[in-house]
Amino acid sequence: MRYQVTRRMCQGKPLAPADVRNQAPVLGDVQIQEQRCEQLGRNSKTATLQGINPIGPPDLPLLHDVVLSWMAPNGLVLSGLEVEGDRLYAQSWLCRPVD
């Protein structure tokens, strides 16, 4: 499903609401599937965002151990873990449907 996605955290720390609002959202299809996560050493439910170029790399890093944290008619929030280098950080995506 096509969404405008905005990241709500940076290296596991919540961004200020103004910073979240001022970010340019990334447009793409949110896909959730189970796949192997080497950093966790096990399978993980993973969210990906495939943007305009489906052949290239994803526009956002994978979100591992993803859960639906909040949902309303105007959007949803997916929360999970994001890999940066050799570390895992908490991350949330604010996903708003594209009209």
Residue ranges covered by each domain of the chain = 2-97
What's residue 52's pLDDT? 67
Average model confidence (pLDDT) for the chain? 91
Q: What's the average model confidence in pLDDT over 3-13? A: 95
Single pTM value for the model: 0.90
Beta-bridge mates of residue 71: 76
Q: Quick one: CATH architecture of 2-97?
A: Roll (2.30)
Check pLDDT > 80 for residue 89.
yes
- The torsion defined by the Cα of 31, 35, 37 and 42, in degrees rounded to 10, comes to 140
